[in-house]
Structure 1
């Protein structure tokens, strides 16, 4: 994908669009000074493999009270009495490939479990971008990622959002527009893309944040929806542009 899959490149492209910049959490390449600065500013960040997929290797890092720190990888959390000791431990997990630091967004919860949303955007048979589906991803109660392959589960947006937003229909339309706009912008930077699965976090102010964009998204979660037309449409569009 010509470098598309790197989280840094995606963030760099999206923030150039004036209407998308405020929907993209600050994302920087992993460095000690940057980590310290972002933890001082945001108190919680995610450290992710720059070109990773499926939530593999993602760590949640937090600055706690009295200058203590904590990070969690998979289900194990470690606490440290200083930034230096935390950083040295963190580096043991970032040796093999480049990592990025992303501003942490506190996700909304459903039944005590964090969730985010997958917004599917595709080129239709006429070659125009179209948002074809939005689905929720409910995280495993002990994990920091919501990926289904890491123990999360696919849920209808209506179920997850109904207690949080006045109108799920209106809010979903807003997400569809956001996905469309982001796809058009990324297509300018990466002309070969035909489909994108956006991972979108919603914070306590109901502001949507584009966490990641996946150029070859897994679609089986959409199979679980009652409305089978959504999955069939996604599948039909994939066949039209040759996704195997």
Structure 2
């Protein structure tokens, strides 16, 4: 199981939110590129990036910070937030991003997801952010009647590389991930599922790994706060 350290970008800085509320942002590093290098130097295989401003604006806002990160490290990065058209997808992939994460458009324009997955095999992931099992879009500001499982199944044959499942109620709250819901989603589809939201201890990572169905886990605040020792986590997840 791969650990994806998270760098959430707001106004050019690396921050963490609680329950996705922009007003709750805590700045952890005003040099996101340096933070990315630290994750790489620690042995991380991937870095997970989110353009928080972009998620609300519907277009990239923290592009300079993302570009600085891409120019500073060699491990692959995935990015979500404000990516809602083919031009933006193509631009980011041309600049060296390994994977784009499509969230809002997965609900509003699923054909775009399918087109992108066809044109860029292995480089398109679907971000499914849910509150009480229902998908939320546009920076989690708008809730839908679509369930996470139903949305995931719509892309079963689309060729997407992964599904990133975030339980909004757990995100940034250090209360543990929704292991059972993530496992259930992973069992419902053949697409690799990455857990996000609430991963706050080695025990959380162990619980996710123990299911045997979950391809990866994203953690942010716990790494910055020191609640998860990164070297120990990478060793544990690397052991068979």
Q: TM-score, normalised by structure 2?
A: 0.30
**Bigger relative CO (Cα 8 Å, ≥ 6 apart):** 1
Q: TM-score, normalised by structure 1?
A: 0.29
Which structure has the larger Rg? 1
